[in-house]
Chains A and B, each alone.
Chain A
């Protein structure tokens, strides 16, 4: 049984949606909360919870909530807004005029781990991803001036590791890391670590400090 949290500033429409979703046979508990309380409630309901966010768009809130549970955003149906929501981490996006049945189906899909977006906006979303990937490939070409080792150092620095941590990771001394870093900055015409991180972001590289086993 899926539990749902409806995030809404308007308690009437939010409450109505929560009541309608709660009546669905696949959905169990369904609560309506204000945006400011959403994160707290979501954190206490980790599990098979889906968050339906119909409050005014806020990508920071979407990102925070998406770290806890799948988020379905109900918005204006504008392509730009959908792209922002999906980029912020929303797993689903529907026009706020979607029917209860459509929302209920989307909630069920998200609970199974399947993304759901407004069908008529799918083309715009794909176009956005294609364009972004092209920009990332262009940016990645800038890294071709680096040696394989320098690129390894670049990727680790972009993830926020300091010289000692990079050295430990690559089995080289911090002094060698500093030498590589100077070469990287010169070759790429970068002036600070934040420039380096910005370039890595344009390349679409993983900026997470969590390296995992393959990092």
Chain B
């Protein structure tokens, strides 16, 4: 249940069963189990690529903050929102 997940310390992992297709700046991820197709913009794709089962949302947000100079807490909020969305779309599992 996503409500029980502490997203700042969770270590999300990309689901290996999905198919990834890139076309220019847009990436489509297809889940053969559910038949669902998800489209990711470059920023979302970058976060999804970081979902290796080791990297926390906190670390992801820190990296984005370092690169963009944006406020860490604001970035963390956006990162956890994106990860929640990934989980709802079954693009990641929480290890």
Identify the A interface with B (CB < 8 A). 86, 114-115, 117, 119-120, 122-127, 129-130, 133-134
Contact = CB atoms under 8 A, between A and B. Distances in A.
A117 B45 CA distance: 14
B75 to A, nearest CB: 11
Given A122-B43, A122-B46, A123-B47, 16 more contacts: A86-B67, A114-B68, A115-B67, A115-B69, A125-B46, A125-B67, A126-B47, A126-B50, A126-B60, A126-B63, A126-B64, A127-B50, A130-B60, A133-B62, A133-B63, A133-B66
Contacts of A114: 68
A115 B67 CA distance: 8
B42 A130 contact: no
A86 B60 CA distance: 18
B25 interface: yes
Given A119-B25, A122-B46, A123-B45, A130 B67 contact: no
Nearest to B43: A122
A79 B11 CA distance: 24
For chain B, give the interface size range: 20 to 34
- Sorted nearest first, the 3 A-B pairs with minimum C-beta distance are A119-B42, A123-B49, A129-B63
A115 B68 contact: yes
Interface string B53-91: 001000110111011110000000000000000000000
B50 A123 contact: yes
Query: Which among B25, B62, B63 has the highest number of chain A CB atoms within 10 Å?
Result: B63
A92 to B, nearest CB: 11
Interface in B1-45: 22, 25, 42-43, 45
A126 B60 CA distance: 7
Contacts of B48: 123
B4 to A, nearest CB: 25
A134 B58 CA distance: 12
